[in-house]
Amino acid sequence: MLKIYLSVFCLILLITFYSCKPSMYTPTASLVSASTTLETLIEGRSIYMNKCGECHRLHRPSQYSSSEWRHSVDKMQKRAHITDTEKEMVYQYLIAYPKKKS
C-alpha cells in the first residue's frame, strides 16, 4: 500500500514540476520578416526550448529587449554548445515575439 501512495505522490510531483514550465509562443507566418523565415523561427524555438531549457528556467521572449537578448544569447552560446547559426536562430525567435500594442 505504501508503494502505491509513494508512486502517486511521485506522479503528482512530476506533473506539478512540468506544468510550471512557461509556455513559449509558437511562431506563425505573420512573424516572418525580411530577415527571417518561419522555418528559422520554428527551429530557433526548438533549440531554445531544448538546449537552453536543459540547464535553467526559460525566460519569456517578451521579458527582454532585442539588445538584452543579443547579449544573453552571445554570452550563453558556449555553455549551450550551439553553433553560430543556431545562436542566430534562437535570437531571431526571441526577438520576433509579437509586441504588445500601446
State residue 94's pLDDT score.
95
Query: 3-state SS of 33-89?
Result: ECCECHHHHHHHHHHHHHHHHHCCCCCCHHHCCHHHHHHHHHHHHHHHCCCHHHHHH
Rg (CA), the chain: 17
Stretch 71-80: mean pLDDT:
96
- Give tens-digit pLDDT for 3-25: 786 777 666 655 555 545 557 78
Whether the pLDDT of residue 101 is over 70: the answer is no
Q: Please indicate whether residue 1 or residue 66 has the higher confidence score (pLDDT).
A: 66
Give domain limits for the chain.
Answer: 24-95
State residue 23's pLDDT score.
72
Q: What is the pTM of this model?
A: 0.73
On average, the pLDDT of the chain sits at: 84
State residue 102's pLDDT score.
40
